[in-house]
Structure 1
Amino acid sequence: MALPDLDSSVGHSFGLEFDGVMIKNITEISGLKMEQDVIDLKQNTADGKYVIKKLPGRPKAGEVTLTRGLTADNSFEKWVESAHFGKMADARKGGSIIVFDYEGIAIKRYTLTNAWPKSLELNALKAGDTSVLTEKLVITYEEMKPAA
């Protein structure tokens, strides 16, 4: 769905979809970016001046961190387990991070290629604490592209 030219989108909720499995209720996503190396080309011009040109290099792999409230859903744990035991054929997946608007309609997708879980972390467990327990999943990926 295209956004109007002058409107900014407000991400009300986020989801993760891999192999047709949708995980919703993600509360925070950080580190999602496209990046590439920069190559310095040092040369002399025709009139003898020394110049440095910046050229685009190889794309860089990245990492993204997803945070959600702790639930009975163990899909994150299963995915991490397959990577920890070296079952990379099962662990490497292609999928998308999805931004939903206030009506739950997907407004933007970011496609991740050959993504696998690097780590899973629970926030501090404190007896008597009234804060929400969360889990953070760090996913490493080889390529990220905004979906058309």
Structure 2
Amino acid sequence: MGLPERDTAVGHSFGLEFDGITIKAITEVTGLKIEQDVIDLKQNTNDGKYEIKRLPGRPKAGEVTLTRGLTADQSFSKWVKDSQFGKMQDARKGGSIIIYDFEGAEIKRYKLVNAWPKSLEIGSLKAGDTSLLTEKLAITYERIEVG
């Protein structure tokens, strides 16, 4: 079920899907953006006036960071190992970040093309601390498509 007209999505439920595996336990997604270069065309008009016209350029590659609670699931660390050891055929993947509504139905999908993990960061470890341990996975991608 999509959103009713003029309603806005609440970013409370989202997941990651790569190679048919869905991870819904993601707690934060940052850096998700579509960007392209801007080309400045400097020219004179027919009446001799100088003008700068801005044109769309090439799309830019991007990077997104996913945060989740630390679990026994090894999918993040296995993916990082593949890229660290140069197994780019296994590490370079296509997948999506998916936004869900309150009922768990998909609202929007952001498809990452030729994505691979750049880094994996484990949250702070402090003796006696009772806060949630997290994993932050930075993923770089060549292109993003909105579906």
Question: TM over 0.5: same fold?
Answer: yes
Q: Which amino acid in 2 is paired with 1:108?
A: K
Q: Please, which runs of 5 or more residues in structure 2 have no aligned partner? A: none
Residues in 1 aligned to 2:86 and 2:65: alpha-carbon distance in whole angstroms: 21
Q: Could you state the TM-score of these two structures normalised by the residue count of structure 1?
A: 0.96
Q: Which amino acid in 2 is paired with 1:45?
A: T
Matches within 5 A, 1:1-148: 1-147=1-147
Residues in 2 aligned to 1:72 and 1:103: alpha-carbon distance in whole angstroms: 27
Over 4 Å off, 4+ runs: none
Q: Which amino acid in 2 is paired with 1:62?
A: G
Q: Between Structure 1 and Structure 2, how many residues are aligned?
A: 147
Superposition RMSD in Å = 0.9
TM-superposed deviation, 1:139? 0.3
- 2:42, 2:51 within 8 Å by CA — same for their partners in 1? yes
Residues in 2 aligned to 1:89 and 1:142: alpha-carbon distance in whole angstroms: 15
- 2:36, 2:59 within 8 Å by CA — same for their partners in 1? yes
TM-superposed deviation, 1:5? 2.0
TM-superposed deviation, 1:106? 1.6
State the identity %.
74
Residues in 1 aligned to 2:112 and 2:8: alpha-carbon distance in whole angstroms: 23
Q: Please, which runs of 5 or more residues in structure 1 have no aligned partner? A: none
SS of residue matched to 2:24: strand
Residues in 2 aligned to 1:102 and 1:86: alpha-carbon distance in whole angstroms: 40
**Offset from partner CA, 1:7-58 (integer Å, 9 cap, x none):** 1111222111111111111000000010000000000111110100000000
Q: Which amino acid in 1 is paired with 2:139?
A: I
Q: Could you state the TM-score of these two structures normalised by the residue count of structure 2?
A: 0.97
